[in-house]
Amino acid sequence: MMISKEVLHLFSRAGFGMPLEVLHQNKSVNQSYQWLWQDAMVYAPLQVVGTGEKDASPDLMNPKVGEVLSRQQLTKDLNFAWLKRMVTGKAVLREKMTLFWANHFACRSGNPLFAQQLNNIIRKHALGNFKTLLLEVSKSPAMLQFLNNQQNRKAHPNENFAREVMELFTLGHGHYTEKDVSEAARAFTGWTFNRDGLFEFRERIHDDSIKEFLGKSGAFTGDDIIEILLKQKQTALFITGKFWKAFVSEKPDANRINLLAEKFYQSGFEIEVLLREVFLSEWFYSMNYYGALIKSPIELMVPLIRDFNVTFANPNVAIGFQKLLG
């Protein structure tokens, strides 16, 4: 039974190659996409941290020396658990999109609990609405800590978080002014998290005065800034352009990207719309887009481990391979 090159192309881009369980089912492109979508409806969070005594910590923010070493191992455990999920788990489209959004919302956390929490936030909303995803990621302790919003206070605003929300997550570089950065930073004052790792809005350190942001004026909060950013068609264009480079081709097609961005924007940033418009289009299966992407280290490793049934007696070896691949 021959598998069409179109179906192989779809599973390569929307997953990590052809899963063994559908290898001999002779599905059409449409049937294959529907299988991928239905399979991805399963949401199962990774649970590595918080499942045993070895990761118990009395203080999430100020660990002792021994706890630092334990955290390093837990971070490795989390890495390997996610790799294993991609290799053997269900919901390959959800995992592929989790990988995409994890790269989009780039973040490094030395706290494995925060890292796991952020990874599961992305996984949960990876196929849903971008606004919900953006808000949840922005309010995660991992991101707030990484981008220094703990230090963003009314008396001394810190611009790091506000700048990256615009430059990396929504508009892209060059589509905002330095004043927009400083005004947004004031709006995000008070966004922090508590010792239990939960988002907390601290009104006493929030600047509730009038701000001027992207041509609008008001006593904006962080939620208001996010809302304004999502009113900008540039946000849809920026996200669509990144999606194109990750799933279609490193060579942009301005006309198609603009059309996709418009549909994404008009849908209210429903991620499913973007997926269907690409993976069920005729142009996606033209020869221009076969072999048009270089696989990332994880995209290379996952199908190799799965197809050759590789096992690791020591999970650190898998992490070592990742480091060697950059």
Kindly report, residue by residue over 103-132, the tens digit of the pLDDT: 999 999 999 999 999 999 999 999 999 999
- Statement: residue 78 has pLDDT above 80: yes
- CA–CA gap between residue 102 and residue 118 (Å, rounded): 9
- Report long-range pairs for 301-309 (Cβ below 8 Å, ≥24 apart): 301/83, 301/325, 302/16, 302/17, 302/83, 302/86, 302/87, 303/16, 303/17, 305/83, 305/87, 306/16, 306/17, 306/20, 306/87, 306/88, 307/17
Position 192 scores a pLDDT of 97
- Statement: residue 200 has pLDDT above 80: yes
- Statement: residue 66 has pLDDT above 90: no
Query: What letter would DSSP give residue 177?
Result: -
Query: Counting beta carbons within 10 angstroms of the beta carbon of residue 204, is it exposed (0 to 12), middle (13 to 18) or buried (19 or more)?
Result: exposed
Asked if 211 contacts 186 with a C-beta cutoff of 8 angstroms, the reply is yes
What is the mean predicted confidence (pLDDT) over 55-66? 50
Which phi and psi angles does 159 have, rounded to 5°?
Answer: -90, -5
- Statement: residue 197 has pLDDT above 80: yes
Asked if 318 contacts 80 with a C-beta cutoff of 8 angstroms, the reply is yes
- Report which residue type is found at 155: A
Query: How does residue 64 score in pLDDT terms, banded at 50, 70 and 90?
Result: low
- Report which residue type is found at 137: V
- Statement: residue 56 has pLDDT above 60: no
- CA–CA gap between residue 34 and residue 45 (Å, rounded): 22
* Continuous segment of H or E residues that includes residue 250: none
- CA–CA gap between residue 132 and residue 4 (Å, rounded): 36
Mean pLDDT of the chain: 93
Q: Which residue has the higher pLDDT, 73 or 160?
A: 160
- Statement: residue 150 has pLDDT above 50: yes
Residues 6 or more apart whose CB falls under 8 angstroms from that of 33 comprise 10, 14, 276, 279, 280
Position 37 scores a pLDDT of 97
- Report long-range pairs for 87-92 (Cβ below 8 Å, ≥24 apart): 87/16, 87/302, 87/305, 87/306, 88/306, 89/44, 90/39, 90/42, 90/44, 91/39, 91/40, 91/41, 91/42, 91/43, 91/44, 92/14, 92/15, 92/16, 92/19, 92/36, 92/39, 92/40
Position 175 scores a pLDDT of 98
How far are the Cα atoms of 1, 85, 86, 303 from residue 308, in angstroms, in the given order?
21, 16, 15, 8
- Statement: residue 54 has pLDDT above 50: no
